[in-house]
Structure 1
Amino acid sequence: MELTATIMKPVLYSCLLFSFWLLSFLSFCEAADRQGEILHKLLMSGRSEKSRISSSRSWAAGLHGSNPSTYSPVCIEPQDGEMEADEIDALPGQPDGVDFDQYAGYVTVDQKAGRALFYYFVESPRNSSSNNPLILWLNGGPGCSSLGYGAMSELGPFRVNSDGQTLFRNDFAWNNVANVIFLESPAGVGFSYSNTSSNYDNAGDTTTAIDTYTFLVNWLERFPQYKSRDFFIAGESYAGHYVPQISSTILYNNENTNQTVINLKGIAADDEIGDIDIYNIYAPICLDSSLKNGSHGSRLCMDRSATYYSTYSKKYHSKWSDGDKDGRVPVVATRYSLNVLKLGVKNGWHAWYSEKEVGGYVVEYEGGLALVTVRGAGHLVPSNQPQRALTFISSFLQGTLPPSTP
């Protein structure tokens, strides 16, 4: 097995570089609606008993069990030399003057099943703070690529030019303030795979959480210099499940617990919305037949519409969105969900600013939870409002609310 993996590695990276653009483009043209649509269908289905994606209660019971002594530690594989082997010299078509290091490769999460997760990792610029935190980014779906979606069209260091062959720098990339891992999860998404086909049929929240935890433990052995960094988990759409459940898994391994709440109120008018882009309700429908895909066209045609995004960390919790444009996961529904928690208000609803303009609105609750909206954003905030997204995440990483003055 190891010999095969070693021999295949040069071939793998040749295929990776050749396929990079195809995956990125397909994530726009074929999977642009999938992330929110799958989440919507799941919520509207009433989460039937036949669903492979369990409720948070049964998920927690299945993962942790009633007897902590039954827990088996994850297997840590030797990682010597893997970091150096994963380093990327340059992506095809990338611009000159790239001042940060980037890596890509596989981390095996189940040796017996032959299951491995693919990651793309970008460090902060070499002349930036050596103490910048580490962020794990996850796209939702389930089934959407964090490489083609998050990395290449939202918060990554590059965007794809319209020629489909070259890249340009994203001035508002999150690696300006953090080191970011884009993880393809679960197995079967993007370049992640399993040699046991039944893994694809049986995937769900439980296996995703366990595999991601196993990935992190082994990845940190591969990149031990990040073991002492502040660590954050971030994601969008269905990652609103992944993030707290992975956080719970981490906390469980430190003898703690966690939980999450979902509320359907706020999207009751779903059947009356008409023919609009539910992820950016004020955006024009794409009428260019050369770009058209599905009922609403390519996100390339609509200037890379934006995101509902939720993010959690070990020391501060925040959910952010903009109900003004995102009809799939509107801010109204989020506020209904937060009302269930019955938290006191620490800092009332007020505007925050980015580049001397109102960037959105924020309310801070007792207990370290805040709701932050991003003005002018729909379902893909880092794509549609990249500067405001960077302002937000920069404040978040510092443990503060976004600026309340221009």
Structure 2
Amino acid sequence: MKPSFSCLCFFFLLCLLQCGASGTRQQGDALNKFYFNNRAGRSSSSWPSSLLLVSNLESKVYDNSRLKEGDKVVRLPGQPADVHFDQYAGYVTVDKPNGRALFYYFAEAAENSGSKPLVLWLNGGPGCSSLGYGAMEELGPFRVMSDGKTLYRNPYAWNEVANVLFLESPAGVGFSYSNTTSDYAKSGDRRTAIDALIFLVNWFERFPEYKGRDFFITGESYAGHYVPQLAHAILHHKDRLINLKGVAIGNAVINEETDRKGLFDYFWTHALIADETIVSIHKFCNFSLDTQQQPPECDRAVDEASRVFDEVNIYNIYAPLCFSAGVTPTPKLPSIENFDPCTSNYVEAYLNNPAVQKALHANVTKLNYTWSGCSGDFDGRVPVTSTRYSLNKLKLKLKVSWRAWMLNSEVDNYLVLNPYIIIHTYILYLIILESTTDR
């Protein structure tokens, strides 16, 4: 029997919680630009703790009283019957003077939510939606059928074992917005981490029953930046009752140099590029961030290798491609087991439905653009700026045992969409970060 990756992810989450207590347009499309086209404007410095400190954090705690009940989702359009868990969605202001607010969707645990931990999920990109991908296509409680109107249950939803919070971040992603247009040009890793911390501080004021609850940060792809940097920011603000127990990252973007080398090596080892191409890449290319210009031999080899992006689904080279731009008049029989490459089309149609947005308390400012899975792909609302760092530079000072798990799989995020793809290479790293140093 083929192993179920969603089951593995589900088991992975359950293990993490226990240990701590003791597409056609997928989220990496913006990351492809990051790899090949966007070298200007990127910070080349690592991120010392001082960069992720929030000055006057108390002044950024806004009045969240009586807002929780207003965020409650009574029922989503097309929602299946017999849903026995509470859902909430809405905006949390992170910068009142600039009118910057982040959108969230929260699915409480299906059973005994009061005793279950809280898990934050972040998609990457950068510039891609945790609502559209994480919640609606991967680990959330519902999936969207091919008509773009009807939902069905995800039997591997993470809210079977935890209370799961999905955050669209930074501002400009999905429904998150700023009333100050210049804010979008200032997006980057540092402000993303700071805004996420401010979001959490205010969200806990809105949901005070979760203060002190075991809390985990999880994510995938470019969340390899978002997750540890947010953890770093939290651990340097010990006055807040955010009981961080650990982090989990799937197929993380950690180091651009090794990621780019690994991408081309992956293409070659799977017979997607010729021997001559990989030999030229190894011989002539230097993917260090300090390299300003590659020799012509490298450029030619990379251009040749990049044709793969037009030929196959690089997130699952064994999967079919989507050749449809829309939805079906009537819903096809849904299946978690049988991968549908057009799933992103269905989600986009669903989240652009005014009735859905009203139920989610979303798009309250009537944004002048449609919801999209990856904002950076469309009009540059979220610029591709990052901070260079590696796991070796990630120093989290802790009082007690604390764990971080990093998961790598061969066919990336699409495995979560199709849980029965054979996993040819499955690597699970357990990294235990332990210290007796004060936070």
What is the TM-score normalised by the length of structure 1?
A: 0.62
Residues 165 and 368 (structure 1 numbering): CA distance in 2 closer, same or farther, change over 3 Å?
closer
Pick the aligned partner of 2:261 from 262, 265, 268.
265
Counterpart in the other structure of 2:28 = 36
Residues 290 and 195 (structure 1 numbering): CA distance in 2 closer, same or farther, change over 3 Å?
closer
The percentage of counterpart residues that share the same residue type is 49
Counterpart in the other structure of 1:22 = none
Counterpart in the other structure of 1:189 = 173
Q: How far is the alpha carbon of 1:285 from its aligned partner?
A: 3.0
Contact 2:64 2:205 in 1 (8 A): yes
Is 1:384 the counterpart of 2:418 in the alignment? yes
Counterpart in the other structure of 2:39 = 48
SS in 2 for 1:283: coil
Counterpart in the other structure of 1:302 = 341
Distance 1:89 1:302 in 2: 30
Moved more, 280-289 or 171-180: 280-289
SS in 2 for 1:232: strand
Pick the aligned partner of 2:61 from 76, 81, 85.
76
Contact 2:168 2:174 in 1 (8 A): yes
Distance 1:290 1:86 in 2: 30
Q: How far is the alpha carbon of 1:289 from its aligned partner?
A: 7.1
- Matched to 1:208, the amino acid is T
Is 1:217 the counterpart of 2:201 in the alignment? yes
Distance 2:197 2:185 in 1: 20
SS in 2 for 1:84: helix
Distance 1:195 1:287 in 2: 37
Contact 1:208 1:242 in 2 (8 A): yes
Contact 1:137 1:146 in 2 (8 A): yes
Distance 1:199 1:247 in 2: 23
Contact 2:49 2:232 in 1 (8 A): no
- Matched to 1:122, the amino acid is A
Pick the aligned partner of 1:112 from 94, 97, 108.
97
SS in 1 for 2:114: coil
Contact 2:321 2:341 in 1 (8 A): yes
Distance 1:42 1:280 in 2: 20
SS in 2 for 1:186: coil
Contact 1:105 1:119 in 2 (8 A): yes
Is 1:277 the counterpart of 2:313 in the alignment? yes
For residues 375-406 of structure 1, give each alpha carbon's deviation from its aligned partner in whole angstroms, at most 9, with x where no partner exists: 7x4333332228999xx9xxx9xx9xxxxxxx
Q: How far is the alpha carbon of 1:77 from its aligned partner?
A: 1.1
Counterpart in the other structure of 1:93 = 78
- Matched to 1:150, the amino acid is G
Distance 2:422 2:318 in 1: 19
Residues 224 and 371 (structure 1 numbering): CA distance in 2 closer, same or farther, change over 3 Å?
closer
Distance 1:171 1:56 in 2: 43
Distance 1:192 1:176 in 2: 27
Distance 2:422 2:67 in 1: 36
Q: How far is the alpha carbon of 1:119 from its aligned partner?
A: 0.6
Counterpart in the other structure of 1:17 = none
- Matched to 1:48, the amino acid is R
Contact 2:113 2:162 in 1 (8 A): no
Counterpart in the other structure of 1:148 = 132
- Matched to 2:32, the amino acid is H
Counterpart in the other structure of 1:168 = 152
Distance 1:222 1:386 in 2: 39
SS in 2 for 1:165: coil
Distance 2:51 2:319 in 1: 41
Matches within 5 A, 1:211-360: 211-254=195-238, 261-262=255-256, 263=258, 264-268=260-264, 269=267, 271-272=304-305, 274=308, 275-287=311-323, 301-302=340-341
Contact 1:157 1:173 in 2 (8 A): yes
SS in 1 for 2:115: coil
**Which one scores higher on RCO, CA 8 angstroms, separation ≥ 6?**
2
For residues 91-115 of structure 1, give each alpha carbon's deviation from its aligned partner in whole angstroms, at most 9, with x where no partner exists: 1110110010000111110010011
Distance 2:209 2:31 in 1: 36
Contact 1:140 1:238 in 2 (8 A): yes
* Unaligned segments of structure 1, at least 5 residues: 1-27, 293-298, 306-336, 342-366, 400-406
SS in 1 for 2:261: coil
Counterpart in the other structure of 1:157 = 141
For residues 94-141 of structure 1, give each alpha carbon's deviation from its aligned partner in whole angstroms, at most 9, with x where no partner exists: 01100100001111100100111111100001x336321111111111
Distance 2:339 2:405 in 1: 32
- Matched to 2:147, the amino acid is D
- Matched to 1:181, the amino acid is L
SS in 1 for 2:28: helix
SS in 2 for 1:90: coil
Distance 1:60 1:229 in 2: 28
Counterpart in the other structure of 2:376 = none
Q: How far is the alpha carbon of 1:368 from its aligned partner?
A: 5.1
What is the TM-score normalised by the length of structure 2?
A: 0.58
Q: How far is the alpha carbon of 1:36 from its aligned partner?
A: 1.0
For residues 140-160 of structure 1, give each alpha carbon's deviation from its aligned partner in whole angstroms, at most 9, with x where no partner exists: 112212112211111110111
Residues 387 and 136 (structure 1 numbering): CA distance in 2 closer, same or farther, change over 3 Å?
farther
Distance 2:421 2:323 in 1: 28
Contact 1:303 1:384 in 2 (8 A): no
Contact 1:291 1:301 in 2 (8 A): no
Residues 81 and 149 (structure 1 numbering): CA distance in 2 closer, same or farther, change over 3 Å?
same
Q: How far is the alpha carbon of 1:43 from its aligned partner?
A: 3.1
Residues 71 and 387 (structure 1 numbering): CA distance in 2 closer, same or farther, change over 3 Å?
farther
Distance 1:184 1:290 in 2: 24
Q: How far is the alpha carbon of 1:228 from its aligned partner?
A: 2.0
* Unaligned segments of structure 2, at least 5 residues: 1-22, 248-253, 268-301, 329-337, 345-388, 393-401, 434-439
Q: Which runs of 4+ in 1 moved over 6 A?
A: 289-292, 386-389
Residues 368 and 96 (structure 1 numbering): CA distance in 2 closer, same or farther, change over 3 Å?
closer
